[in-house]
Amino acid sequence: MKLQISNLNKTYKKGAVKALDDFSVTLTPGVYGLLGPNGAGKSTLMNIITDNLNADSGEVLYDDKNIKKLGKDYRSVLGYMPQQQGLYDDFTLNRFLWYMAALKGLKKKEAKEKITQLLETVNLTNTAHKKLGGFSGGMKQRALIAQALLNDPKILILDEPTAGLDPKERIRIRNFISEIAEDKIVLISTHVVSDIEFIAKEIILIKEGKLVSHDTCNNLTKEIENKVFEVEIDKEELKYFQENYRVSNLYHNDKKIIVRLVTDIPPENHNIQSVTPTLEDLYLYVFETGK
């Protein structure tokens, strides 16, 4: 199974804004993390992959066939969780999932089994008969994840799947995604870097519509070895460091402050220790420019 994204270009405002710029990448079964700042082109890319938006040029191929020509055959293997929580407030969760199952063409027996299973998976069994309008943001996120999985999709696109979830729920969903990804292509767009650092087989970095890099987390973070440091500073120095360096973390240590810096040139005349880089450090290094 293969999803090939080939030379995608997309502009808005009569060409004034370029959302995707000759973007190409090939995906096979497993979890992929899609990282980039706001406006990088992530949502545009996902909307083209899910056939909700037309590219200006380029194509998306599923097993070497254009998704436009595949039509409903492609949509039948697709699961999509949008970031926007466009739910029917007057529907109960159970009714919503039955409605989505009907749209996806599931037979009654299959739909019943999947709904029961997914309600347990996203920990919403006890609220199945409550109206969606009364759900918290995190509960709505879990409802959207459940509907995306109803048809047991081969391609699963998740836009900020753990937004609004508490740590326990995030871990539960993250582990579930990792578990089901063996025979699926799963693309996750998120700003919660830790959610994909350990489950994604590869990370896709996108900036201004262009593919910046595409590799395993381990290989990507190796690129910034010897560029991440912990530095002991005085409290009055903090503002200077925040304005002139990429600061990924800080904590107080007695009268001193320990700041974690991502930089090509570490400061002089300070107590400095080189540390192992994380995916969050890489994100800062790639996307926070000017420091």
| pLDDT 10s digits, 95-106 | 999 999 999 999
Contact 233, 270 (CB under 8 A): yes
- What number is the average pLDDT over the span 178-194? 90
Contacting residues for 162 by C-beta, under 8 A, at least 6 apart: 141, 169, 170, 173, 174, 190, 192, 195
Q: What number is the average pLDDT over the span 154-174?
A: 87
Residue 208's SS3 state is coil
H or E element at residue 95:
helix 93-103
Contact between residue 197 and residue 216 where contact means Cβ atoms under 8 Å apart: no
Calculate what percentage of the chain has a pLDDT beyond 90.
76
Inter-axis angle of helices 167-180 and 137-148, nearest 10: 10
CATH: 3.40.50.300, 3.90.226.10, 1.20.1070.10, 3.30.1780.10. Which one for 3-221? 3.40.50.300
Residue pair 284/220 in contact by the 8 Å Cβ criterion = no
- Integer Cα distance of 32 and 197 in angstroms: 10
Interatomic CA distance for residues 123 and 25, integer angstroms: 34
pLDDT of residue 247: 95
**Backbone angles phi and psi of 58, in degrees to 5:** 95, 180
Q: Name the average pLDDT for the chain.
A: 93
Average pLDDT of span 27-38: 95
Under the banding of pLDDT at 50, 70 and 90, the label for residue 66 is very high
User: pTM score, two decimals?
Assistant: 0.90
The answer to which of 76-85, 149-158, 184-193, 275-284 has the lowest mean pLDDT is 76-85
Tokens of 121: 């998976």
Residue positions counted in the chain: 291
What pLDDT score does 85 carry?
A: 65
Residue-level pLDDT at 174: 86
Domain ranges of the chain: 3-221, 226-275
Q: Which of 24-28, 129-133, 203-207, 253-257 has the lowest mean pLDDT?
A: 253-257
Tokens read off for 67 = 């998704």
Say what the pLDDT of residue 80 is. Answer: 95
pLDDT tens column, 235-284:
999 999 999 999 999 998 878 999 999 999 999 989 899 999 999 999 99
Return the pLDDT at 290: 64
pLDDT at 82: 87
